[in-house]
Each structure stands twice: as structure tokens, then as C-alpha cells.
Structure 1
């Protein structure tokens, strides 16, 4: 659901940035209607709750086994990491090379993992 000052965080593994973009970016059909991507479908996310310009995503050249290290280049990283620590989120992760952050969105679904991604948490970023 759309919220203020929160960020929902996913990690994953993708071969290239293009693969990540294909997984998450919305598409349009011939009539100009929005077609949800695989990401939105797998996590049952209502596209009306998301602003495309509030999505930060990256595929790194190396894999990370520490979530907090992975977040070092993210916007608001210090606040996000501190809030993850306060929530008791364990920074140790399986090797992952991709990060997806959706700002002003509170993820609320029973689906926490797919083949290529895993939901971590929603925390405040401001």
C-alpha cells in the first residue's frame, strides 16, 4: 500500500541490469494500457500503489553476503540501515547481486520469495 516515508526492500540475483529492468519495469500494450511486470504479478503488488520514479534498483558486479554493505550506495542508506537494525533484521544473506527499493510503499503480502528475489523488510527512510 502507498505510504509516506517508508521503503520496501528486495534482494535478488540477475545476470544483467537489463534482466532486472525486464523483471520490474511496467510495459504498455497496443492500446496504451499498463501491463504489470513479472515482479508485480509474483508479489501481488497493485501497480496503482507504486510511483515508477520512486523505485531504485541496481545489479552489482559482485555478490554481497551482507545486506548492510549492499545498501551502502542506496539513497538514505544510513537511516535505512539503522531502521533495519532496530527491527532486528539479520544482515547476513545468501550471495545476492541485485537490490530493489520502492519508496513510499509498504509491502504487505504473504509472498516473501520468488525464484529470483526475496523481500527483506519495510522500514522508514526519513
Structure 2
């Protein structure tokens, strides 16, 4: 990992904390990490471990995976769909709720992909599997 990544993870955490409108002290309380250590992470003076990043993610109610990617621990995955991005960005949902929604969303996508593949190519303008068309009269 490069030194710039260490600074960028701290900046990213600070940005997420500010977006969540919580103080450094509040994040320290909810994450179980000391206020001075969090401050050092945000200023780029300390490189947090995966475990610390996970605690910070829970405190910020964001995806630990996002922090791992920012810190260079994980490779960035292919881009999310708008739905996936919205679920991950939601500050109200818990990590568990986000994961359940993502699992359901993925199962629906796989089911529909399988149905499309089984049906073969459709004519342009044909309805997607599982949709109903209502005629307006």
C-alpha cells in the first residue's frame, strides 16, 4: 500500500463522519475506538487494521467493504447498479438490512437473467419477463 492510501482512508472516514453529522467523539463512542486513535487515522498518521475499519464502518453505518477498498485491502469490484449504490449509501439501514436487501436484489436479478436466457432473444420492445401490460381504454 502506498502512503497516499493511508491519508485517503482517513480523509474518506472524516468525510463519511461529517456526512453522517456525527462528531469524532460520537464515532469513538459507537465504534469502541479511542477518540485520539480515530483522530490520528483521520489525519493520516495511523494505518487502521481491517478490524478497526470494520468497527468504524459499523459506527458510521456504512459498508466495511467500502472502507477496505479505500484502504487498499480489497480490490474495487465492478460498478454497482443504481439500486445497489442506493442501498449501500443509505445511512438509515443497518449493515445487516443492507446485506439482506442486496441478497434479495441479486436473487431477483439472477432469476430474471435465467428466465431471459431460457426464453431466448426477444423482439425489440417486448415486455421483460414477469411484467404485465395493461391496455388503457
Q: TM-score, normalised by structure 2?
A: 0.22
Which of structures 1 and 2 has the bigger CA Rg? 2
Q: Higher relative contact order at CA 8 Å, sep ≥6: structure 1 or structure 2? A: 1
More helix by share: 2
Choose between structure 1 and 2: higher strand proportion: 1
**Normalising by structure 1, what TM-score?**
0.23
